[in-house]
Chain A
Amino acid sequence: MSELRLLAGRDLAAGPESLADHVRRLGSLPSSGHELIDTVERSGLLGRGGASFPVGNKWRSVAAKSRGSAVVIVNGAEGEPQSRKDRLLMSTRPHLVLDGAILASRAVSAKQVVIYIGEEHEPARVAMARALSERPEAEARLARVVSAPNRYVAGTSSAAVHLVSDGIATPTTTPPHPHERGVAGAPTLVQNVESLAHVALIARHGDAWYRTAGRRGAAGTLLITMAGAVSGPGVLEVEAGTTVAEAVAMAGGATEPTEAVLVGGYFGAWVDAAQAWELTLDAAALRARGLSLGCGVIGVLPKSSCGVCATARVMRFLAAESSAQCGPCFFGLRALADACDRVAERGTNRDDITRLQRWATEVRGRGACHHPDGAVMFLQSALKTFSTSFAAHPAHWRRQPA
C-alpha cells in the first residue's frame, strides 16, 4: 500500500485527532450541497457496512423524498464479532466521519443526524462525542450520539431505524426500506462510518482522485480487519483490488499453514486456502464469484484448527443472535447449530449432514430480514470448503477459537 487515505496522518496509537489537527491536515469542510451526490456517484464508492450498495445511489433516493425532512443515521454499530475497522476509525479519525455525516445531511437535506455507536465501543463513543462538541454549534445541534445495543442484528439498517424510532433494535420487514420510510416515517439514510469517511475525502479531492487508488480495475481504498492466524491481526487500509495473499502478507504473513480463509465475516463465506490467495478485495469481483466483501473481515484458519468446529461455533452465535421474530430464523438456525454441534461433538453421522444440506436451503429467504440468509450462506460455504472434514469428522469438538 503506497498511500494511506482514511488512516493517514499522525500515529493511530495517539488517539482521536482533534478538529484543529484535522483541519490543518485536510483543510476545512467543503461547502457542498445536493451536487455532491453527482460526485459521489461518479466516484463509484460502495457502502462499507456489508451490502456494498452504491453510496451515491442511496443518497439520491433519500434526497428525492426528503424535502428537508430526512434523517441521517451514521452506522457505527459494528456488531460483526471480528471486525475492528469502524471502532478504529471513530476512535482515531472522528472528524473524518463527522465531515461525511454533515456532507450527507446537506446533500440529502436532512434535519437531523443520529450517530449510532455500539455500546461496547467505549473509546469510539467518547471520541465521537468529544469530536461533536468541537464542531461549530450548527453542526453539533444537528447531531446526537445514540448507543447501539450489543447485538449482531442491531447494525442492520432497519434495526437502527427501529431503535431510533421506537427504542428497539430489532430488524423490521423491508420494504419499506429506510430510504423510503425510516425514522418516524421520514426518508432515512443509514450509512456506515467508513463510507462517510470516504465521502469526506471525495468532497475535498474529487471523484477522479478517489479512483486513482485501486488495482486490477477496482477503485479506492478499503479498511479491512485481518483476524485469525496472521502475525499482525488488526485493521489495514488497502487498495481495492488487493489480493488476499497480499493482505495477509501486509499483516505479517500467516503464522501456520492455512486451511481456509473466511472472507467477509460471519455473513461471508469460507474459501479453501488454495483458491483464497488470489481473490481480490473488490466487492464487484467477489460478487461475481458468489462471494461478498461484507464488512471486510479476512479470517485466516490454520490447518491445526478444525473448520467444522469453527463453523459450529459461528452457527451457535448466529442462532443466538436471531431476534426471535420469525420462526424459520429462530428455530431453523437453532436446529442447524444443533446439528453442527452434534457433528463437532460426536463425529459425523449421515443424518445430520443430510439435514444440514436440506435445512440450509429451506431456511433461506424466510425471515423478515436477511439474518437467516447470511447464516445459511456461511454454512453452505463451510459444507463445501470443509466437505472432507464434514464427511469424516472425529468426535473432538474444539471449543477454543481458531
Chain B
Amino acid sequence: MTDTVLWYTTRGAGAVSLVLLSAVVVLGVLSSLRFQSESWPRFLTTGLHRNVALMTVVFLALHIITAVVDPFTHLGWLPAVIPFSSYYRTLWLGLGTVALDLLLAIVVTSLLREYIGPIAWRAIHWLAYGSWPIAVIHGFGTGTDAWSAWLLALTAACVVAVAIAVGYRIRTGSPDPLGSARIAFRSAANRREDR
C-alpha cells in the first residue's frame, strides 16, 4: 500500500510540476515582453512568475523524493542530481535530472542575484529555455501515464502555451524601450583615445 501511495504521488506531482513549470516559463516570457494591460499590471507578472516558480520547486521536490524513496525502483539519491547514473530507464530519467540541474542553477542564481549581478543572472536564466523542453521530454518518455489521454492533453496544452509565448517573444525581439537610446548614449559616453 505504502509504495502505491508513493508511486501515485510521484506521478501526480510530476504532472503538477509540468503544468506549473510551463506556467512559470509563460510568465517569464510575458515579463520579458513587459506585457501589461489595464487590469494586469506588470508587477503581477513578475510576482506570479516568482511565486509559481517557488511552488514548482515544492512539487518537484515531492516528485523526486517520492520517486527516490519508492522501494520498487531502488533509485537511491545519486540519480536525483547526477544525470544518467540510474540503472532504471537511464536515458529518460537522466533527462529529468538534467532538467532539474538546470533549474537548480536558475533558482540558486536568482536567490543570489544581489551578489552576482544582473548580467550573470540573466545569462543563467536563459537555461530555462533548455530546462523546460527537456523536462517535457522526460515526462513523455518515462511517465507511467504518458499515453493516457488526460496527460497527453495536458502536455499538449502546456507545449502550445509555451510555444505561443516564445513565438511572440521571438517575433517582437527585445522590447526594452530604453535599449536603443541606451546604446546611443553609451557610444557617445565611452572612453576616448587619450591623445
Contact = CB atoms under 8 A, between A and B. Distances in A.
A317 to B, nearest CB: 14
Contacts of A145: 194
Given A168-B186, A170-B185, A170-B186, A325 B191 contact: no
A112 B29 CA distance: 46
Interface of B: 177-178, 181-182, 184-186, 188-192, 194-195
Contact of A323 (B185, B194, B195): B185
Given A323-B182, A327-B178, A149 B188 contact: yes
B194 A167 contact: no
Contacts of B181: 324, 330
26 contacts: A125-B195, A145-B194, A146-B191, A146-B194, A147-B194, A147-B195, A149-B190, A149-B191, A150-B188, A151-B185, A151-B189, A163-B191, A168-B189, A168-B190, A169-B189, A169-B191, A170-B186, A170-B189, A322-B185, A323-B185, A323-B186, A324-B178, A324-B182, A324-B184, A325-B182, A331-B177
A327 B177 CA distance: 9
A37 B194 CA distance: 32
A324 B188 CA distance: 12
Nearest to B184: A324
A337 interface: no
- Listed from nearest, the 9 A-B pairs whose CB atoms lie closest are A167-B191, A324-B181, A324-B182, A169-B189, A147-B192, A149-B189, A324-B185, A324-B178, A151-B189
A166 to B, nearest CB: 9
Contacts of B177: 327, 331
Contacts of B182: 323-325
Best-surrounded residue of A119, A146, A168, A327 (most CB of chain B within 10 A): A168
Contacts of B192: 119, 147, 149
A119 to B, nearest CB: 6
Contacts of B191: 146-147, 149, 163, 167-169
A112 to B, nearest CB: 14
A204 interface: no
Interface of A: 119, 125, 144-147, 149-151, 153-154, 159, 163, 167-170, 322-325, 327, 330-331
Given A147-B191, A168-B190, A330-B178, 13 more contacts: A147-B192, A149-B191, A149-B192, A150-B188, A151-B185, A168-B189, A168-B191, A169-B189, A170-B189, A323-B182, A323-B186, A323-B189, A324-B182
A193 to B, nearest CB: 18
Contacts of A168: 186, 189-191
Nearest to A326: B178
Nearest to A126: B195
B190 A169 contact: yes
Contacts of A163: 189, 191
Contact of B194 (A144, A154, A331): A144
Contacts of B194: 144-147
A327 B176 CA distance: 10
Contacts of A151: 185, 188-189
Contacts of A159: 189
Best-surrounded residue of B181, B182, B185, B191 (most CB of chain A within 10 A): B185
A154 B189 contact: yes
Nearest to A164: B191
A258 B158 CA distance: 70
A167 B188 CA distance: 11
Contacts of A325: 178, 182
A122 to B, nearest CB: 10
A323 B186 CA distance: 7
Nearest to B186: A168
Contacts of B190: 149, 167-169
Contacts of A170: 185-186, 189
Contacts of B188: 149-151
Contacts of B184: 324
Best-surrounded residue of B181, B182, B189, B191 (most CB of chain A within 10 A): B189
A168 B184 CA distance: 12
Nearest to B179: A324
A297 to B, nearest CB: 22
A145 B194 CA distance: 7
B153 to A, nearest CB: 41
A167 B192 CA distance: 8
A151 B156 CA distance: 53
B179 to A, nearest CB: 8
Nearest to A149: B189
Contacts of B185: 151, 170, 322-324
A144 B192 CA distance: 14
Contacts of A323: 182, 185-186, 189
A146 B181 CA distance: 25
A153 B184 CA distance: 15
